[in-house]
């Protein structure tokens, strides 16, 4: 099941109660010691969720593992090849600069194509290039240049034609070679490696049920790993923020797994319990163009209403800024 909703609508609270319901159902069906995974995005959320689940479940908390997705991934890799070596942000940027120099000197194609590719690589920032290779190519497990050139990149702010993508693909090869020489890898590479390792494991860590909170923050290869850890698809529960763009409007859950067919199994929470209506409407207007799903309650806002919302928000920001000073 998929549960969608904006911030403050109570998705995480429902996910916690879903854990209790899963436990009760499994035990009622003869599973004496069920094994449930509750995963969320950050360590802070893990600690908070662990505390709430302990209060909600009592002694049954022993049947639930609360971890970040990357903690699960690191554990899978550690069992297979030992502790991974993840490159820091500083090392990634330094390595990318070196890869850029190597790539520009070895671009392929005719003169115009090489000039276009060189201009593209020089125009894009180091951080943007690292992010493009990590979140578009590696996270989606694109194995060929043709696959990369055919992949929608909604939400990436800068459009790239086939020739420009060819330059980035060539840069990726140089970048990975330099990382390999340093015996380092990116988090996205580690997640892809963990997925391959999981597929080859004789006794993978399978759970009776898996609850994934805040799925919009996870890469596609991470979601693939988590779905594979669930014994049966009907015991998988996912929450996602419909107001946040994860992979742009091109994203489909079935791209992650054919088991993720949520037709008739999707819930939507629409009431925000956290912020005022004015702030919520302003945030919705700001996020609409990059939203994962169409947000219905923006349809009824007139232009005058939109202007008043932004005016009120600016006033609140001004008050806040003065207070901080």
**Which domains are present in the chain?**
2-81+197-269 (3.40.50.300), 89-184 (no CATH), 275-325 (no CATH)
Give residue 98's pLDDT. 97
pLDDT at position 322 is: 45
Q: What is the structure's pLDDT at 31?
A: 95
Q: What confidence score (pLDDT) does residue 264 get?
A: 80
The confidence score (pLDDT) of residue 278 equals: 85
- The pLDDT assigned to 311 comes to 56
pLDDT at residue number 6: 83
Query: Consecutive 10-residue runs of the chain (325 residues): their mean pLDDT?
Result: 89 95 96 96 92 96 96 93 94 97 88 89 95 94 95 85 93 97 96 94 93 91 94 93 60 71 85 82 70 47 52 51 43
Q: What is the 3-state secondary structure (H, E, C) of the chain?
A: CEEEECCCCCHHHHHHHHHHHHHHHHHHCCCCCCCEEEEECCHHHHHHHHHHHHHHHHHHHHHEEEEEHHHHHHHHHHHHHCCCCECCHHHHHHHHHHHHHHHHCCCCCCHHHHHHHHHHHHHCCHHHHHHHHHHHHHCCCCCCHHHHHHCCCCCCCCCCCHHHHHHHHHHHHHHHHHHHHCCCECHHHHHHHHHHHHHHCCCCCCECEEEECCHHHCCHHHHHHHHHCECCHHHEEEEECCCCCCCCCCCCHHHHCCCCCCCCCEEEECCCCCCCHHHHHHHHHHHHHHCCCCCHHHCCCCHHHHHHHHHHHHHHHHHHHHHHC
Q: What does the pLDDT read at residue 164? A: 92
């Amino acid at each position: 099941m998929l549960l969608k909703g904006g911030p403050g609508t109570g998705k995480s609270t429902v996910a916690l109660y879903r854990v209790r319901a899963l436990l009760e159902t499994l035990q009622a069906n003869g599973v004496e010691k069920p094994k449930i995974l509750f995963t969320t995005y950050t360590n802070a959320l893990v600690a908070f969720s662990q505390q709430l689940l302990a209060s909600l479940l009592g002694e049954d908390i022993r049947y639930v593992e609360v971890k970040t997705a990357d903690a699960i991934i690191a554990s899978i890799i550690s069992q297979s090849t030992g502790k991974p070596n993840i490159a820091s942000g500083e090392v990634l940027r330094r390595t990318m600069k070196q890869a850029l120099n190597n790539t520009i000197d070895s671009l392929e194609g005719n003169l115009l194509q090489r000039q276009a590719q060189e201009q593209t690589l020089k125009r894009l920032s180091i951080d943007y290039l690292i992010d493009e290779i990590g979140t578009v190519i590696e996270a989606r497990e694109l194995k060929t240049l043709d696959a990369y050139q055919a992949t929608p990149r909604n939400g990436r702010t800068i459009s790239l034609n086939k020739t420009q993508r060819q330059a980035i693909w060539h840069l990726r090869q140089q970048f990975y070679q330099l990382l390999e020489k340093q015996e380092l890898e990116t988090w996205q590479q580690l997640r892809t490696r963990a997925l391959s390792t999981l597929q080859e494991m004789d006794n993978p860590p399978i759970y009776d049920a898996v609850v994934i909170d805040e799925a919009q923050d996870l890469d596609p290869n991470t979601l693939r790993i988590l779905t594979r850890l669930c014994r049966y698809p009907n015991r998988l529960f996912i929450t996602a923020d419909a107001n946040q763009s994860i992979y742009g409007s091109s994203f489909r859950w079935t791209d992650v797994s054919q088991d993720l067919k949520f037709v008739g199994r999707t819930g939507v929470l629409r009431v925000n319990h956290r912020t005022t209506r004015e702030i919520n409407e302003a945030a919705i207007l700001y996020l609409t163009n990059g939203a994962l799903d169409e947000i219905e309650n923006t349809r009824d806002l007139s232009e005058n209403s939109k202007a008043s919302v932004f005016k009120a928000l600016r006033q609140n920001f001004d008050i806040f800024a003065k207070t901080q000073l």
